[in-house]
Structure 1
Amino acid sequence: MNLYQTSSGTLNNSYANESGQVIYKVSTPHKFSGRVTTTVSRIVPSDYEPPREEDSELGNHKSARSEEVDFKDRFAPLGYIDWKTFVSSVMRYNGTEVKATKYLKKQGWGWYGRNRVFKGPDGKEYKWILRASSKLILNDGSETLIAKFHTRKYGLFSPAEARPAYLEILPEGEHMVDVIFFTFIYVEKIRKEEERAAQSSAA
C-alpha cells in the first residue's frame, strides 16, 4: 500500500492511494497563542448495501459492484498531536491521551535524531529509524521492513521518473495502517527538524 503526498510538506497535506483517492488528511493550523495541534483525519466510507445476488440464466450472479465501497470524501478525526517545545508533546489517539515520549520511546541513534520504539496493537514492538528518510522495522532483531517513506523525485534529467513523495506500507504492516500513519506524522516532523538543523550547522 502506498500513500502519496498530494503537495509538499508533512503537517499540512493529503495522502492518496494509488488510484488517487485521498485516504488521510493532515492539518496543522498555526495559532497566535503559540499552541500548535496537528489533526490527522481518515476517510469514512459512506454507508452502503452491497447488491444482492440475483438469479439469472447463468445461475446466481453477484454484481462486481458488491465488492466496491463508495467514498464520498467524508473525513473523521483519527488522532491529534499537541506539539510542545519544552516538555513532551501529547498524542491523542483512539480515545487515549499519552505523552509522545512515553508511547514513542527513544532508542539508539539515527542520522537525524533518536530512533523511536512503540508497541503495536498486535503486541509486537516496532522501531522507526530516522535516516535520510524514515523507515519502520519490526524490533525483534529480524529488522523486517514494515514501512518506508520515499522522498519526492523531481525527474530533472528524466521527467518520466518524477513522482511525489509517498509512504510505502508493506503487507506485514497492513493490519495496522492507521497506527503506522499516525506515528509516521510524528517521527517525520522530528526527523525533518533534525535534518534542517544538521544542514544549518554544515552551512
Structure 2
Amino acid sequence: MQTTTTNPSLVLSYDDVTSTTLDCEELGLHYQVSTQSNFLGNAKTTQIRRRDTQSGKTDLIAQWERHTLQPDLFKFTGAGTSNPRVTSFLGQKSGCAPWERSFVGDDGRRYTWSEESLQLVARVIEDHSRGEPVAIFHERNVAQSRNACLELLPGHEGTLDSLLVTFIYVEWKRRQTSDHQLRKSQEFQEKQVLQGNLQVLLNQQTAWQSNIATTSAAQTSTGMFSGGYPF
C-alpha cells in the first residue's frame, strides 16, 4: 500500500468505506468498519471499532443505522452518550451539497466536511468561518497502485474518533449522489481517451523504430553485395 502524503494517513484496505479497515502504522492507529443487513434487507448497521495496539482489544466507538423508511441513527459508546439522528448530529446548511456537513468534535469544537477541488476536506470552524484543514481524503489511484487514505493534519488529535465516524458517513453520502458519480464517469472517460492517445503514440513509435531497423538492414545488405565480394 502506497501513499504520497507527507503527513500520517489512515490507509483504507478496501475502497468501500462501509466495509474496510483504516490503519496508520506511524501513529499506531487501527480502525475496523463492518456493515451488516437485517433479514428483510431494509436496514443496514455499520459498526466502527478501534483496536488498541498494546492490549490488542477492539472497542466499539460508534454504530450507524441506516433505515429505508426512517431517519438514520448514530449510536455512540461511553458514558453520557446519546443516539442522535444524522440530521441533528451532522448539521447541513441550506443550499449546500448533500454531503457537506458540520459537527461538534470530541474536543467540543465545531468542524465541517466539504468538497474542495474534488477532494473531501475537514476544517475546524473558527469565528464562524472555516479555519485550517485537519484531514484530507485522497481517493484510490489504480494507475499508481495507491490505496485511498485519510491524511491527518495537525489539529486532528482532539477529535480523531468523531472525525473518522463523520468521514465514513459523509464520503458514503458523497458517493451516492448522481453528480459525484457523473464526475467520476467523466474522469474515467478522460483517462480512457488519454490512454488511447498514449497507445497511438506508442504504436507510431514502434512503427518508426521498425522502419528504421528495416532501412538499416537493407542498407547493410546492399553494402555487402557492392563491396566487391568475389563470385
Secondary structure at the aligned position of 1:87 is classed as: coil
Q: Does 1:138 align with 2:124?
A: yes
Q: Residue in 2 aligned with 1:23?
A: 30
Q: Residue in 2 aligned with 1:66?
A: none
2:170 to 179, 182, 187: 187
User: Do the aligned partners of 1:130 and 1:191 also contact (CA within 8 Å) in 2?
Assistant: no
Q: Residue in 1 aligned with 2:60?
A: 77
1:99 to 79, 85, 102: 85
Gaps of 5+ in 2: 1-7, 187-231
Q: 1:6 to 1:20 in 2, by over 3 A?
A: farther
The alpha-carbon deviation at position 186 of structure 1 amounts to: 1.0
Q: How does 1:157-168 map to 2 (within 5 A)?
A: 161-168=144-151
The alpha-carbon deviation at position 142 of structure 1 amounts to: 4.1
Q: 1:103 to 1:20 in 2, by over 3 A?
A: closer
2:88 maps to amino acid? K
Distance in 2 between residues matched to 1:114 and 1:28, nearest whole Å? 20
1:150 to 138, 152, 156: 138
User: Do the aligned partners of 2:11 and 2:150 also contact (CA within 8 Å) in 1?
Assistant: yes
User: Do the aligned partners of 2:99 and 2:171 also contact (CA within 8 Å) in 1?
Assistant: no
1:181 maps to amino acid? L
Q: Residue in 2 aligned with 1:14?
A: 21
Secondary structure at the aligned position of 1:106 is classed as: coil
The alpha-carbon deviation at position 115 of structure 1 amounts to: 1.3
* Paired residue total: 171
**Percentage of matched positions with identical amino acids:** 23
Distance in 1 between residues matched to 2:9 and 2:88, nearest whole Å? 28
Gaps of 5+ in 1: 48-71, 156-160
Distance in 2 between residues matched to 1:137 and 1:21, nearest whole Å? 23
Q: Return 175-184 or 15-24, whichever deviates more.
A: 15-24
Q: Does 1:117 align with 2:102?
A: yes
How well do the aligned residues superpose, as a CA RMSD in angstroms?
2.6
Distance in 2 between residues matched to 1:32 and 1:199, nearest whole Å? 32
The alpha-carbon deviation at position 127 of structure 1 amounts to: 0.6
Q: Residue in 2 aligned with 1:174?
A: 157
User: Do the aligned partners of 1:128 and 1:136 also contact (CA within 8 Å) in 2?
Assistant: yes
Q: Which has more helix, going by share of residues?
A: 2
Q: 1:5 to 1:135 in 2, by over 3 A?
A: same
Q: Residue in 2 aligned with 1:55?
A: none
Larger Rg: 2
1:3 maps to amino acid? L
Distance in 1 between residues matched to 2:152 and 2:27, nearest whole Å? 16
Distance in 2 between residues matched to 1:43 and 1:36, nearest whole Å? 23
Q: 1:147 to 1:185 in 2, by over 3 A?
A: same
Give the TM-score of the pair, scaled to structure 1: 0.74
Give the TM-score of the pair, scaled to structure 2: 0.65
Q: 1:196 to 1:31 in 2, by over 3 A?
A: farther
Secondary structure at the aligned position of 2:68 is classed as: coil
Secondary structure at the aligned position of 1:172 is classed as: coil
